[in-house]
Amino acid sequence: MQPYPFERLRQLFAGVTPNPAYRPISLGIGEPRHATPQFIQDALAGDLATGLAGYPPTAGSPALREACAGWLQRRYGVQVDPATQVLPVLGSREALFALAQTVVDPTQPGATVVCPNPFYQIYEGATLLAGAQPHYVASDPARNFAPRWDLVPDAVWARTQLVYVCSPGNPTGAVMPLQEWKLLFELSDRHSFVIASDECYSEIYFQGEPPLGGLEAAAQLGRSDFKRLVMLTSLSKRSNVPGMRSGFVAGDADILKAFLLYRTYHGSAMSGAVQTASIAAWGDEAHVQDNRRQYREKFAAVTPLLEPVMDVKLPDAAFYLWAGVPDAWKSSDTDFARALLAQYNVTVLPGSYLARDAGGANPGQGRVRMALVAETAECVEAAQRIVQFIQSHTPDP
């Protein structure tokens, strides 16, 4: 197992003294920083007296499962059984990890988990600790950095037990279209692997149509039983409550039955107070629309500033800019990040830290991830500093 990207970033910056003429601005960590809506805080505080007084059931309350199912119906137009096809989780991260422990059988020869590259590192850690080996699917810059599932060899699919899909993607923001879902479903039918659809960025998007979800794609293709499919989502980005650690999974009832059994041993029941606040959050869309508006304003202000000096464009969704560094820095995105911090006190995450070498190349090399999570003015100031930094290092023609 490898250190998490932020530990590597800390090591990279060891010994760097940022320019004291600039206040620090971090675009490095994808942690929501918009204010938590007051009504969610009130719901959480209002249930503390009773919500902490007993052990909560691992399956969550019927009211919470019904709230999650209701949101799925309103957002995606899909019907699920709250009793058997929905399970609350402590945020999507722990569920992504635990799901691999549930569905992977390490006794099978060559047990493999397929994931995009670059990727959210929990996929890799979950794979290795489940006793399987990861297979990395490189993203394609020509297709807005969508993974090329069609290039995975048949021999790999034959030993695959789990596929992690991230749509909208982290760090690229790419959204998977229906045709690619159809391809994965057909491959799953042929090889019996489970698909885990990580959709925690689904409510931050920039075009008119909201991103297609995994259950939604399955329903459109006539797969209403959601066989071998589990979607995972969270309130962290949608509702600006990362500290509440609240989300849910939904899909194949047989998988969720086994997942619930695993979780009774895993010790991952959600407190009653958090369940009450979660019900309130899943039931309201006004704060989500305002959250999306704030991100749209930031991207509209920042992207045009960076486009003349970096390979960057508006993503499909999520709150990251996946930016190519200038040619002078292509061989070392880490040097770019280190020098930017030293000279202009702006933190970005090297793209190579979010990917693995595969097929002789690291698909994150030469790019950086910028999380536009701060207020608009701070993000704009960071972009202006980045422009100044790049221009000061660009030789005259």
Each residue of 378-395: pLDDT tens digit? 999 999 999 999 999 865
Q: Specify whether 76 is located in the same domain as 196.
A: yes
Residue 397 confidence (pLDDT): 40
Nearest to 96, CA basis, from 199, 170, 24, 215: 199
- Those residues whose C-beta lies under 8 Å from the C-beta of residue 204, and which sit 6 or more positions away, are 168, 237, 238, 291, 292, 295, 317, 318, 319
The domain boundary, picked from 283, 312, 340, lies at: 283
For residue 42, being part of any structural domain is answered with: yes
Q: Specify whether 14 is located in the same domain as 48.
A: no
Residue-by-residue DSSP string for 39-87: HHHHHHHHTHHHHTSSPPPTT--HHHHHHHHHHHHHHH-----TTTSEE
Q: Specify whether 64 is located in the same domain as 179.
A: yes
Cis peptide before 171 (omega within 30 of 0): yes
Mean pLDDT on 366-373: 96
Provide the number of structural domains found in the chain: 2
Q: Specify whether 211 is located in the same domain as 315.
A: no
**What values do phi and psi take at 39, rounded to 5?**
-65, -30
Look up residue 140 and give its DSSP letter. E
For residue 108, being part of any structural domain is answered with: yes
For residue 154, being part of any structural domain is answered with: yes
For residue 326, being part of any structural domain is answered with: yes
Residue 87 and residue 59 in contact, taking contact as beta carbons nearer than 8 Å: yes
Nearest to 247, CA basis, from 374, 35, 385, 72: 72
For residue 215, being part of any structural domain is answered with: yes
Mean pLDDT on 53-79: 96
For residue 295, being part of any structural domain is answered with: yes
Q: Specify whether 159 is located in the same domain as 78.
A: yes
Q: Specify whether 383 is located in the same domain as 240.
A: no
Digit-coded pLDDT (tens) for 4-20: 888 999 999 999 999 99
Mean pLDDT on 106-125: 96
Q: Specify whether 115 is located in the same domain as 201.
A: yes
For residue 397, being part of any structural domain is answered with: no
Under the banding of pLDDT at 50, 70 and 90, the label for residue 156 is very high
Strand order in the sheet with 194-198: 86-89, 247-251, 229-234, 194-198, 160-166, 112-117, 133-140, 146-147
pLDDT exceeds 80 at position 128? yes
Most confidently predicted of 40-44, 353-357, 390-394: 40-44
Q: Specify whether 91 is located in the same domain as 166.
A: yes
Residue 238 confidence (pLDDT): 97
pLDDT exceeds 70 at position 252? yes
Q: Specify whether 291 is located in the same domain as 221.
A: no
Residue with the two structure tokens 């530990």: 7
Q: Whole-angstrom Cα distance, residue 354 to residue 338?
A: 16
Judged by phi (left if over 0) then psi (alpha if -120 to 50, else beta), residue 226 lies in left
Q: Specify whether 185 is located in the same domain as 96.
A: yes
Secondary structure of 272-333 in HEC code, one letter for each residue: HHHHHHHHHHHCCCHHHHHHHHHHHHHHHHHHHHHCCCCECCCCCECCEEEEECCHHHCCCH
Q: What are the respective helix, strand and coil percentages of the chain, to the nearest 5?
A: 45, 15, 40
Residue 313 and residue 304 in contact, taking contact as beta carbons nearer than 8 Å: no
The domain boundary, picked from 283, 318, 335, lies at: 283
Q: Specify whether 272 is located in the same domain as 315.
A: no
pTM for the whole structure: 0.95
Look up residue 394 and give its DSSP letter. S
CATH of the domain at 325: 3.90.1150.10
Residues in the chain: 397
pLDDT exceeds 90 at position 49? no
For residue 124, being part of any structural domain is answered with: yes
> Residue 344's domain spans which residues?
5-35+287-392
Q: Which residues pair with 361 in a beta bridge?
A: 358
Q: Specify whether 96 is located in the same domain as 244.
A: yes
Supply the angle between the helices 92-103 and 122-129 in degrees, to the nearest 10.
30
CATH of the domain at 231: 3.40.640.10
The domain boundary, picked from 220, 248, 283, lies at: 283
Look up residue 129 and give its DSSP letter. H
Residue 171 and residue 322 in contact, taking contact as beta carbons nearer than 8 Å: yes
Q: Whole-angstrom Cα distance, residue 153 to residue 344?
A: 45
Q: Whole-angstrom Cα distance, residue 187 to residue 104?
A: 17
Residue 158 and residue 188 in contact, taking contact as beta carbons nearer than 8 Å: no
Q: Whole-angstrom Cα distance, residue 67 to residue 283?
A: 7
**Residue 31: C-alpha distances to residues 159, 198, 319, 385 (Å):** 35, 17, 10, 21
Lowest mean pLDDT among 193-202, 220-229, 263-272: 263-272
Residue 135 confidence (pLDDT): 97
pLDDT exceeds 60 at position 396? no
